[in-house]
Structures are given as structure tokens and as C-alpha cells.
Structure 1
Amino acid sequence: MDASLRKAAMALGLCLSIGMASAQSLPAGFNLDNRLSNRNAPTGVYFAHDGRVFVTEKGGTIYVYQNLLDPAPQLLVDLSSQVHDFWDRGLLGFALDPRFPEQPYVYVQYAYNGGLFPASDPTPWAPRWPSTDCPSPPGSTSSGGGCVISGRISRLTVTGNTAADEQVLIEDWYQQYPSHSIGTILFGPDGYLYAGGGDGASFNWGDYGQTGNATWPDQRSPLNAANPNSQATNHGGSLRSQGLEVESQYVGQQVWLNGSIIRINPADGSHAPGNPLATAGLSENAKRIVAYGLRNPFRFTVRPNTGEIWVGDVGDTAWEEINRIPAVPTDGSATLLNFGWPCYEGRGHHGNFIGPICTALYSGGDTGGRTPQTQPWYTYQHVGSSDTTGLAFYEGSSYPAQYHNSLFAADNSRQIIFNIPFVDANGDGVPDAPPDSSASAFFGGSLATAVQLISGPGGDLFYPNINTGKVSRLWYCGGGCTNQAPSAAIALDATSSADGVPRTIGFSAANSVDPNSGDTLGYDWDLDGDGNFGDASGATASRVYGAPGSYRVAVRVSDGAGASDVQSMLVTVREAVADLGVVFDDGVTSARPGDTLHYVLTVTNQGPDAVFGAVVATTLSTQLTGITWICTPAGGASCGGSGSGSGDVADSADLPANGSVTYAITATVVAAANAPIDSDASVAAPSGTSDPNPADNQASDIDALDDTIFADGFDPTGS
């Protein structure tokens, strides 16, 4: 097979011969829709609640479709200059912020084509490709070769349909060979980001680091020069997946992230609270890890309505695995899981690894202080070549009942999609595993070549075919019908804000689409999260939210022919937070009867939120008369009413963050003044807005009354 075909057909660990599944038709009533096509080696498809669809390409580009019917997608971002695209390497992971687009962030995971610099060493430990220090072809199978790279996780900010401002969160995988690279990133229901990475080792031999790269060596777990072929003294290669067990032996006592699933804070990449080792006196990488001992956890998913992570681990020569990671509890009692690679493949020992790390695991109850192996939930034996390249639970209701809550699994090498029905015989809420290698084939053949499975609009399964450049949708319509369900979309009205209460928030479903031309769409809304879609109808809707809280807002879009789709978004209504302040002064310290005073009152909002209807008031001294004022806004603020008045100021101002209003107040000291001139000014946040620093919301100005007594007839001006 030539290099160009290998890149396409074998791009994701399919470096052995492909075992072809026999041709198999879709089950009765199922159909394929390949509306999204003409992509270059697509690796993933992702859906936003506003109807937009994102497709990643292995070479480093990401495209955005306005909806599933958009014929002209736009380029979201081109990261190709930073992505190393070879075999398993490329842009393979993508995730939308759970509040996207209200929180305008997307996350990417890719094989980084660039030199990496340890904090303590200005010399990079990985070169930039192409490099004279890297073999050509770049270390696919050569002993002692391999061009070392790391995976990278970054956050990008999306404005409109363009992503920019890359913020790198993590670069900490040592991957020598171009198989078993990175793969999936996704958000759990707990709001934390999960990511995986493979061992980066050779698949041609039992790799424990004995073929280390002399030019770009592993600086944390270097090859033991005195015993380069001893598993007793080396733990590189595939054994990096067990590195957590010997972290104290790593230079700097910082393990790599190879062969693990991590759970991190999406803001900065730090470990998430509640992780199994979060409070241990270990490295930051150790604190990030929730499971390890994996070979190539290329694709994993979250089981709906749980925090469980289900991992497909691509095996070596014998077994594929599906592993279950329970939800991380909130009480700090999470259990660290070790799935055993490379000591185990499937449920049995791997014969190539007999060093002390593995013998401790093989010994059963006596693990030498190491985390014992957790057996896989399900395994299946290789037929020719195999690799688990997609997992998804069916979340919809349009498929026949036998598929509800079931698990679908894709094997790209065998060109087949399996189905494992949901069975819970003991009622513990956890699916019962079927006997190993017993999962039934749902669909096979060249059209079933999938490098991802994901639940999309209507709960239907979608998957990208890296060979054909198409994204396929598996939809069901029994009885020979041809009606396909619409795709619902929901977005905030452009003028809506969820800050401040009470607050009127508008919603739009205008980006909903139907693949059947001529269908007229209907819209029904659940605006309060009670499951009743009778709150409003029409393509737009609004509601007044009078109390802070989180509300699940949903729209049901129907096509008039019996098919519908539901899309929802979470709206968190909170009190607006605004740091208001006043400065009030007339520029003098004393005055006499008949003097004219000129006060300047400036009201500011230092944010972070805008304030609508801030109450501005003065209580000027009774020693003053003829009071007038004029208000001047700045920074997008606005004054209330006509912007001027007489007497004390009693105004209502709208203040965006960093906006201000200034009142120029003029008053005259009365002739009979007989006391200091004491005046006050204040600003108060309206109901539904809190001020974290109320101490500067009031100010006073006190002028002494000049009590100089002049003789009758004396003119102090000298005129």
C-alpha cells in the first residue's frame, strides 16, 4: 500500500493489514445521510445547541457549518502549521465549551509539530518536523528511531465563525513512534475536561524503552546505558503507561501522561478537584490522572445522565477493550484505576513484559504497593486487524426500542459497527457486560468505516469516514417512509442577557432546519424546565426570570409529518455584579453667603457586569438654593430622563462596565446661612444587582461657612 493510501486508510493505528468485514446492509428501516461531504480526512463532527456543526480534519483544519443543510462551510481555524499529520498523529480531538456559544471557547487536542522546552532547560526535548535529526519516513518502524513529539491541548476563542487566541493548556506526552498518539477530549457533566493519550511506543516489538531515540532521549525516564535491554532497569516505551507506579524514579519525579485519562480544569489545565491523587504529595501530572494503564484510548465517551467515562482501548495483537471509569464523586473518595497495559492485554498477561512493574501486577493480591489491574468491562478478540475507533450511547427515541440506551462501538479496521444492548439485570444502574466477543454486528462494509461515533440531532448517530471525506448520519424511519426528522436549534436572542433579575430573556429557534423540502416547521417551548412544551409557540419566545437560578430551556421542532427534534440550553440567571462608586466634590473647603458652588458628581461602574437603572441621588445642604444639574454620560453609559434637572439629583443611570455618568451641579449659598454646608451623594445598585464593594457608594462634601464679620460700609473687594 503506497504512502498516500496508508495515510488515509490506515491513519489511526491501522498499520496492520485490514481485516475486511463481509458486506452487510443496514437493518431494516435505517438509512444513511451523507449530506456533509468533501472534507479532507475528517476525524470528528461536533454539534452546538445553536445549530452549528463543526468538522475537524486530521491535517489541522476545522470547518463550521451554520446547520446541517449548509452547503458552504467556513474555515474556523487552520492549525496545520502546528500539527504533525502522520499515521496516528494529527488533529484528533475537539470539544465545545458546555455553555458555547455563550462561553465562546472551543478546545483542541493534536500532535504538536514543534520543539518543546522543559522549564529548567532551554534545549527542546522534541524537534520540529521536518528535522535532520528525524528519520524519513519519520520513525514508523525503525528501531532506535522515531521523531519524538508531544500531544497538545489548547483553548481557542471563537468570534463569529473564526477561532483565534490559542491558549496552550498542556503539552506533556513523550511519544516516540507515530502510533498510539492522542485522541479524545470531552466535557463531563461535572464541567471538567477529560482527555486521553496513548503510550507512543512501537507496535513491532515489546517496547520498554530499549530502542530509545539517541538524539531526542526521554529526559524523565532515560534509557539505562548500563542495562539497555533490561526491563528491571528501564520503564520507557509501553511501560510509560505504568509510569505512575514508579514516578519517584522519574527525573524531577514528574510522570508523563502517556496511556492515561486525565481530568482537568478547562481554564488553565490544572488538575480537577476530586481526582484520586488531587490531595497527594505528588506531581501535577499525577494529580491530573483518573485512570492509566491504557495502550491507545483513542475514543471514549460519557454515558448519558451519568459521569461515567467509557473508553475504547486499541489493543496489540489479540484483544480490544472497552473500559468503564465510574463518575468522580464529589466527596474526594475517587478510586484510581489501572487497566494494566502493557502488563495486560484484554484479561490476560502480555507475554512480552516480565519486568518488576508487571510481575507485581501479575502477583494478584500482592501488588508491591502498586494499583491492581482493573479488568475491562468488555473485550473482543482480533479478527485480522482490529481497533476500537468510536463509542456512543444511543440517546434518542426514534430508533427501535431494542437500541434505546444501548452502546454502539466502531472498529475502523474491520469496517464494522457493533451494538451492545442495554441490560441491567441487577438494577444497579450500570449496564451488564455481554460475554466477550459476543457483540452483534449492526452494520458493516466500506460505508461503516468510522473514526468517531457521536450522538447528534435527534439522538441519531453520526460518524466521519476518514477515507471518503463524508460525515454520515444513521437515521431511522420504519415502514418504508422517507420522512427525516428536523434538526432543532436554540440560541439566545442577540439582545438578551442572563445577568440581573428580574430579566427578560429571548430565545430563537430560527436556525432549525428540515432535510425534507416543503415541510413547515412548528415550534413548542419549555421555558421553565418542567418538561411541558406548552409555554410558548413560534420560532422565537421569551420569558421573564424573576429569581436567580439555572433553567433548562428547550424547544421542540416538529415537521408536521410526525417527526420532531428537541434541543435545549442551560440558562443561568444570576444577580449582576457591578462595582459602583461615586466621587463628589465642589473644589473648595469654605464658602460665604451668596457664593455659587460648583459640585462635580461622578458615578462609575468598574464591572464586571452592566447595570441598568442605577439609582443616583444627592442630599444637598439646606444652606443651598437655586440648585440645577446637567448629566453627561461616557463609555456607553446613559443618563435618565432628559439628563438635566433642578433640586436634588434623583436620577436613574445605565452603566456598562467601565462606563460613567458625571453630574455638574450648581447651587448658591443662602444669605442667611449659619452652619457648615454639608452635602451627600450616593449610588445604589438596582434590585437583582449586587455590589461587591459598597463602601465607595456614598460620598460627602463639607464646606466650612466663612464667618468673617465686616464693618458696616466696608467693601472687601476694594471697589
Structure 2
Amino acid sequence: PSAVSVDEGDTVRLSVRVADREDTELTGRAVAWASLDPATATVVDGLVTGIAAGQTSVTATSEGVSDTASVTVLAVEPSVPSLELVEEGFTLPTFLTSPPGDGRLFVTELAGQIHIIDGGSRLPTPFIDLTSVTGCCERSKGLLAMAFHPDYASNGLFYVFLNDLNGDSRLAEYQVTSDPDVADAGSGRDLLIVPQQEVAHVGGQIAFGPDGYLYVAFGDGTSAGEADEPRNGQNLENFYSTMLRLDVDSGWPYGVPSDNPFVGDASSLPEIWAYGLRNPWRFSFDRVTGDLYIGDVGAKAWEEIDVQDASSAGGENYGWSEAEGTDCFRVGCDMSSFEPPFHQYAHTAAPSCSGSVTGGYVYRGSALRGFQGVYFFGDFCDSVIRSFRPSGGSATELETWTELSTPISGLVSFGEDADGELYVLSINDGRVYRIAPEE
């Protein structure tokens, strides 16, 4: 058809007929599909998914000939979000993720174990036990995150970010065994070790980007009460306060992508992708647009969400410790030198006590109708979920989900499964919740 309509969150199948000049149908020919605006609708092998209300078009190309169909995505009555308990009984859970195309959920615990939730229940045996190499559990030190290689289904490789027995930050690679529910604890290979003298601001998030490279976030390496006196935030000669971009498929122990922004600069480390981050506590990539969202914990006044466009060549300076949010942290700073936050919110006093952002994800699942493209995040101090819809370069439709967040005690992290559904980890009571439509 030349035009189709689809509801937000739903799908419609398009087909294409490939023929020669005499209109004889040609079989077995490859067809490439593309969407003009993936933020409105995506297309994979002819299956169109409505993402957000609006109009776009999809194109099918074969044998050098293209045909286009217009797509109208219709708005739907939004779901009412609720928290659905998935599993409990974890000890200080810190992160949740899934391998590509895998229905299992993997939950990291601060002390060093990783557990699998399969079919709604936790398996009795840990996926891997790294307690013998993990230094735990002082403030934000321990096993903080994991990431599966994009080709995990074929190579079985995954990566962890933990603090070792010396307290230092360690990025390591491990491999699954022939049993898909058990990893080999003896297969560890260190990629990077960064000394940490303090108990806070170590960062700790890792994730593969749409480009296949591994992104690694570090904080400024100071304690919560310090104002980055080492000035790590603006120092490109160490890894503190940075986002790294590494190629784990080449080089030893890793390779540096040739298009990293500081490659060839003798005064900067080539691994650095962006800098000026105080404590980037959770970041994620929008699986549709490829944009990078970073939750950066503030010092005295502001919590911020930084957004890096998918087209960025890197090198952004987010300001710490010269700036905090849109304000100078040090007298006389030049705010024009820094990338401003996409969104910021002010600290509040007790009892609400917001002041430690937990970055989240742009929702790309299908269960919550009307929320495709909405960014969910929260705050560790008040354990309240927040959200906004990025539109036109600004945060719109701001929501604070106070009642929804009532069961959460210590909102340490969000998680995303293979289908784009979102989860919330409550560290103080060891629970994992799914953000689901109210029944």
C-alpha cells in the first residue's frame, strides 16, 4: 500500500513485490527497508512499529529500485503506569539487563554475584560469583554493572564493572560456559584498572552503544563531601570524570576507535569520549534514535540529565567541577565552554530530600501505551520516579510519579530487558519491579 496507519506501540506488516521491466515477479531478491524518522515509526523486514504519534514514511529498496509508503502513527489513550513486583530477596541489587534477544533478566548484587530471573523466578544457582574479587560494600563500591557483548549469542562474552579488594575500579571480561545459565568465573580478563582512593564517585556504568563500542563511565574519584579539589573534572590526562569509548574486539587489552575525539592529542587520553562529569550514575542509549542519556549526580544544588545526540563526534565537556548544572560552581567560570544539561532539577531538603539522580532509559517497549519515547529516571535520595518526553531539544511533559514510587526503598537503578520494557531496582529491600500498565 502507498499509505498505512498504526497505533502507537502496535505493528503493521508491509509487503513488497519485486518485478522486472516486463512485470515478471522476481523471487529471492534482497529488500532493504528504512524509515525516514525512526522516532515516529521503525521498520524491520517490512514490520512497521508505531513509536510516537505523527507522520513519516518507509522505503523499500531492491535491485536499485525504491518504493515509499507514508505511515501515520495514531495517538492512543495512555496507560496508567504501575509497579509490578518481579522478584525479591536480592542482597543489595545494583543493576539489571538482558542479552540481546534473550528473555532472561540478569541482576547484579553489590557483593559480587549475578543472578538470573527466568520465567518470573530467580534461578537457584548464581550466573557467576565474583565475591572473591569484589571489594564490598562501602557506599558505592562493589559490583556495579554488567553489559553483554552485542554478539553474546555467538561469543558468550560479557563485561563487568566492579571495585576490587583494593577498592580500585576494574573493568573485566568474562565468558559463559556451555551451560547458558552459568558463567566461568575463571575466564576473567582485566581490560582496565583505575585506582580509587575514596568511597564515592566511582561511576560504574558500562554499556555498548549502537556503534558496537563499549562505553564506560567514571566519576571524579572524590568523596561525597569534596568539591573535586584534584580538579579531575577538567583533566584529560586521567580517566576520572569521563566517559570512555573502547573497542573490545581489537587490540590488547582493548582498542581505541580511530574516531575518538582526542586520538592524536598528546595531552589527552585517547580513550576519552566525553568529560566534565561529577558522578555519572547510570547512562543509556535510546535504542531507536541512538541518543545517549547520562544522569550526573550534582554537588550542592542541581541534578542533571545530559543528552548527547547520536550524530555527536564526542568531546563534550559537561562542566564539572567548574560548573554544576547551569550555574558556576567555581567563581568566574565560563559557562559558554560547557555543554548545558538537557534537564536539571534542584536539590530539596528533608523529608523529600532529592539530591542524587539515578539515570534511566527512554521507553521503547510495547506494554505502556502512549509512553513510547518518554525518558524515565529517578532520584536515589527520595526514591521517586520521574519522566519527561524529549521534544525539540527540550524536556517536555515533565512528571513526578510520587504515588507510583511508594514501594521503592533506595532507587539505585533502572533496567531494560530485550523487549525494551523497564525495571526499577530497590536496593534497600532487595526488590525488582517492572514498570507495567495498571490492571
Q: Say if 2:173 and 2:189, in contact at 8 Å, map to a contact too.
A: yes
Structure-2 separation of matches of 1:32 and 1:416? 12
Structure-2 separation of matches of 1:399 and 1:30? 7
Partner of 1:295: 278
Partner of 2:368: 399
**SS of 1:241's equivalent?**
helix
Q: Say if 2:416 and 2:423, in contact at 8 Å, map to a contact too.
A: yes
Structure-2 separation of matches of 1:458 and 1:364? 40
Partner of 2:89: 38
Task: Identify which of 469, 472, 492 aligns with 2:430.
Answer: 469
**SS of 2:412's equivalent?**
coil
Residue 161 of structure 2 is aligned to residue 169 of structure 1? no
Partner of 1:240: 232
**What is the deviation of 1:273?**
2.5
Task: Identify which of 325, 332, 347 aligns with 1:382.
Answer: 347
Structure-2 separation of matches of 1:375 and 1:451? 25
Task: From the superposition, tell whether residues 457 and 343 of structure 1 become closer, same or farther in structure 2 (CA, over 3 Å).
Answer: same
Structure-2 separation of matches of 1:154 and 1:105? 10
Structure-2 separation of matches of 1:373 and 1:432? 17
**What is the deviation of 1:201?**
1.0
Partner of 1:447: 408
- 1:178-223 residue CA offsets vs partner (Å, 9 max, x unmatched): 1111321000011000010111213324341xxxxxxxxxxxxxxx
Task: From the superposition, tell whether residues 31 and 433 of structure 1 become closer, same or farther in structure 2 (CA, over 3 Å).
Answer: closer
**SS of 1:459's equivalent?**
coil
Structure-1 separation of matches of 2:256 and 2:328? 32
- 1:559-610 residue CA offsets vs partner (Å, 9 max, x unmatched): xxxxxxxxxxxxxxxxxxxxxxxxxxxxxxxxxxxxxxxxxxxxxxxxxxxx
Partner of 2:307: 324
**SS of 2:278's equivalent?**
coil
AA partner of residue 82 (structure 1): V
Q: Say if 1:47 and 1:456, in contact at 8 Å, map to a contact too.
A: yes
Residue 247 of structure 2 is aligned to residue 265 of structure 1? yes
- 1:153-183 residue CA offsets vs partner (Å, 9 max, x unmatched): 00001112123310100112x4322111132
Partner of 1:60: 112
Q: In angstroms, what is the RMSD of aligned CA positions?
A: 2.2
TM-score scaled by length of structure 1: 0.46
AA partner of residue 275 (structure 1): N
AA partner of residue 257 (structure 2): A
Partner of 1:179: 200
Structure-1 separation of matches of 2:85 and 2:334? 51
Task: From the superposition, tell whether residues 73 and 440 of structure 1 become closer, same or farther in structure 2 (CA, over 3 Å).
Answer: same
Partner of 1:201: 222
Structure-2 separation of matches of 1:97 and 1:36? 25
Residue 156 of structure 2 is aligned to residue 104 of structure 1? yes
Number of residue pairs the alignment of both structures matches: 348
**What is the deviation of 1:439?**
4.3
Structure-1 separation of matches of 2:307 and 2:79? 31
**What is the deviation of 1:324?**
1.4
1:289-438 alignment runs, 5 A limit: 289-327=272-310, 334-350=313-329, 353=330, 359=332, 362-363=333-334, 372-384=337-349, 385=353, 386-401=355-370, 403-424=371-392, 431-434=393-396
**What is the deviation of 1:32?**
2.8
- 1:52-92 residue CA offsets vs partner (Å, 9 max, x unmatched): 32110001111223x23334342122222222221011110
Structure-1 separation of matches of 2:429 and 2:201? 23
Structure-2 separation of matches of 1:376 and 1:411? 16
Structure-2 separation of matches of 1:30 and 1:70? 22
**What is the deviation of 1:415?**
1.3
**What is the deviation of 1:408?**
0.5
Q: Say if 1:319 and 1:345, in contact at 8 Å, map to a contact too.
A: yes
Q: Say if 1:390 and 1:451, in contact at 8 Å, map to a contact too.
A: no
Structure-2 separation of matches of 1:364 and 1:70? 50
Structure-1 separation of matches of 2:327 and 2:385? 25
Structure-2 separation of matches of 1:175 and 1:382? 27
Structure-1 separation of matches of 2:408 and 2:395? 27
Matched-pair identity in %:
29
Question: Could you say which structure has the greater relative contact order, defined with CA pairs below 8 angstroms and 6 or more residues apart?
Answer: 2
Task: Identify which of 45, 50, 57 aligns with 2:102.
Answer: 50
Unpaired runs of at least 5, structure 2:
1-77
- 1:424-461 residue CA offsets vs partner (Å, 9 max, x unmatched): 3xxxxxx52349xx543363324264211123255321
